[in-house]
Amino acid sequence: MDVLILAAGLGTRMEELTQDLPKPLLPVQGKPLLEYAFNLIQPLKPNQIYVNTHYHAKLIDSYIKKNYENIHISWEPEILGTGGGIKKIHQNDLLVLNTDNIWTSQFTQEIELAWQYFQNNQHIDNLLLTRRTSKSFDLEILPDESIQFPSKACNAQFQGCHFIRQGVLRNYPEKFNIPTYWKKCSMEKKLFSFTTTAENTHIGTKDLYLKYTN
């Protein structure tokens, strides 16, 4: 398993909070958001760990080099979108996660179970980790656990973490956002859900961040 942590975005939903600091380095309870992602995946012992960067890239690079070893930086001179960022480093089956969440330690075990499920079900090209008990549903999971995307009758929440099969983005452009792929993947019945129970607090906007940190 390889891992990609998405850290290239402009963080515009954080407004002035990310004027001088990229969102992945915003502090929460004494440590940056990016550290929660590293703590989550380290017990998984992935083959390769990648972090894509663009906005305030030098600050992220400096933080990683100071605190971690054997992390590959995938610098993007221009924003490639979530899909383009994945495609740039996508050589093997890949775990992708964002830095909008306060990842809980028990979620590591659920990722391990999802990885086993993904490996045992080769007909699945993209496996999204989801949660069924939430106040903000954004995905529609069908009875066979496939995902209807775009979703209308939403009954689950995306956990900001997914597995994507080697080679499936080969024919996509260098710049695109992953929902473009999800739509096609859903039509082909290759987009599926893996239900998890751990609650990872989402703080992807200024209001949510301030609510959680104040």
Q: Over the stretch 26-65, which tens digit does the pLDDT of each residue have?
A: 999 999 999 999 999 999 999 999 999 999 999 999 999 9
pLDDT at 13 over 90: yes
- The candidate with the shortest Cα–Cα distance to 132, out of 212, 194, 202, is 194
pTM of the model: 0.95
Token readout for 92 is 């093997």
* Confidence category of residue 85, pLDDT binned at 50, 70, 90: very high
% of residues, the chain, pLDDT over 90: 96
d(CA 66, CA 137): 38
Cβ(27)–Cβ(20) below 8 Å: no
Q: What pLDDT digit, counting tens, does each position of 94-129 carry?
A: 999 999 999 999 999 999 999 999 999 999 999 999
Q: What pLDDT digit, counting tens, does each position of 158-201 carry?
A: 999 999 999 999 999 999 999 999 999 999 999 999 999 999 99
pLDDT at 135 over 80: no
d(CA 120, CA 185): 18
